[in-house]
Chain A
Amino acid sequence: MRVRPAGERGLLVEVEELETVHRLHAALRELDPPGVVELVPAYRTVLIVAEPDRAGVLDELATALPELELPPAEAVAGETVEVPVRYDGEDLPEVARLTGLEAEEVVRRHTAPEYTVAFLGFSPGFPYLVGLDPALEVPRRDTPRTSIPAGSVGLAGNQTGIYPTASPGGWQLIGRTEVTLFDPARDPPALLAPGTRLRFRVAR
């Protein structure tokens, strides 16, 4: 574990693997240190942000962190969410060409794994998923689209994801889901959370 300052009111805690990120995130949520206002997990890090006038809590945390007891991995594994997708994305033929696979095989390989939501970022509710079949790794589009509709399912590099809201983007689009990933009026507003397991299935 390595702890780095992120300004006067932030600590960036770096660990070896994603599972430890989720265990550390869970332990810190449980601890709920006074003055801490944000805990932001990502691939290898948890960012801790304190209120400006209570940033002293970070010094205590930095000392306590290496001794902090983390819950076991089983205890922090999230629920499994199934996301039905209509695999009729504009870039599906291009993805098939780039991977050398039939379109049906692209879909089969995309729906096969159980993905883990590493974290949410980029925009509200946007999941960074791990678990993509390496055979489906494709480059981003040369020219990003100026608007991608909400619910679009795409591929880029070793990542697959779903756009919660309409936004510009350079991912290769393979399908679309009707599932609402983010709704400010819902509690919790995001369908997914860091650690949630996710399966894509072919929508009927």
Chain B
Amino acid sequence: MTGASIVVRNPGLLTTVQDLGRVGLAHLGVPTAGAVDRRAFGLANRLVGNRRDAAALEITLAGPELELEAGGWVALTGGRVAAEVGRRAVPMDVAVRVEPGEVLGVGSVSTGLRAYLAVRGGIGVAEVLGSRSTDTLSGVGPAPLEEGARLPVGDLVEGDPFQQLAPTPRVDPEPLLRAVRGPRDDLFTDQALHTLIDTAWTVSSDSDRTGIRLDGPVLERRRKLELASEGMVEGSLQVPPDGHPILFLANHPTTGGYPVIAVVAGRDLPLAAQARPGTRLRFRLVSVTAARQAAAGAPV
């Protein structure tokens, strides 16, 4: 710990501390949580030379205003956002130096939904159950940022800040997400699987870090059989009785009582994490092997 702090002048709409989440506690009902756009989160840490498990700030729609008492290197990634320090504009996807006492103001996210702000060393709040993440579903971990709060800066570094611009992610106005069918696709009609892939689903405003509700046609079940609750993975497209799927993001509950028709490939989850209400999403079904190859970085 360097002893330096970040003072929250203005927390923004919903700014939380996130890392890779709580792993290995799902059997106790503890959600993983962590950054919902792991790609943007990971890039932010790499740019400032942090370890991959360092915590960063996840900014939702309207950004915070932060005073960096000791200054330092920062990087902004993810949803496109205008930011400035002093009177200087802060570019995204590159490490930027902030001088001691300067205030970093992050504006509104203009494209996408969430931006990530990494500070060299990481956000050094205390770990709870092995993670510094705010679990917005169950309240484990630090509270979302509040005005006047002081965030310690940690020392989880493993390299130098990266001063070359990283490639900017392409933003697709109507993202196409790969998904693997199952585990409960057999509870749905054949038509439901066609409907799933033939529809441009609209992201509902009733969406958060737990999941996004998708408006569109009804996915019909074969039988009105009650399903006993079972374990859920990130990316699950769970279908409640109203027939409209919910796509589970990182802060999803560990178990659920509705059948999962398909699971979105990990590689494409960042697209879902950045989908604002009103965005239209499409799905296409791929094999487990294809989804794994995508995760390993094979050409998209």
Contacts and interface: CB of A to CB of B under 8 A. Distances in A.
A6 B263 contact: yes
A41 B27 CA distance: 7
A70 B291 CA distance: 31
A7 B232 CA distance: 10
Given A6-B182, A40-B255, A47 B291 contact: no
Contacts of A47: 26, 230-233
Interface in A28-67: 37-47, 49, 52-53, 55-56
Given A12-B231, A42-B228, A190-B29, A7 B253 contact: no
A5 B184 CA distance: 9
A8 interface: yes
Nearest to B232: A47
A53 B295 contact: yes
Nearest to B137: A123
Nearest to B32: A38
Interface residues of A, number: 42
A50 to B, nearest CB: 10
Nearest to B23: A37
A40 B266 contact: no
A188 B28 CA distance: 9
Contact of A7 (B29, B139, B230, B233): B233
Nearest to A167: B138
B122 interface: no
Contacts of B27: 25, 38-41, 119-120, 193-194
20 contacts: A6-B231, A6-B236, A7-B264, A7-B288, A8-B292, A8-B295, A9-B266, A12-B183, A38-B23, A38-B24, A40-B27, A42-B231, A43-B228, A45-B228, A47-B232, A119-B255, A124-B29, A124-B140, A189-B129, A193-B27
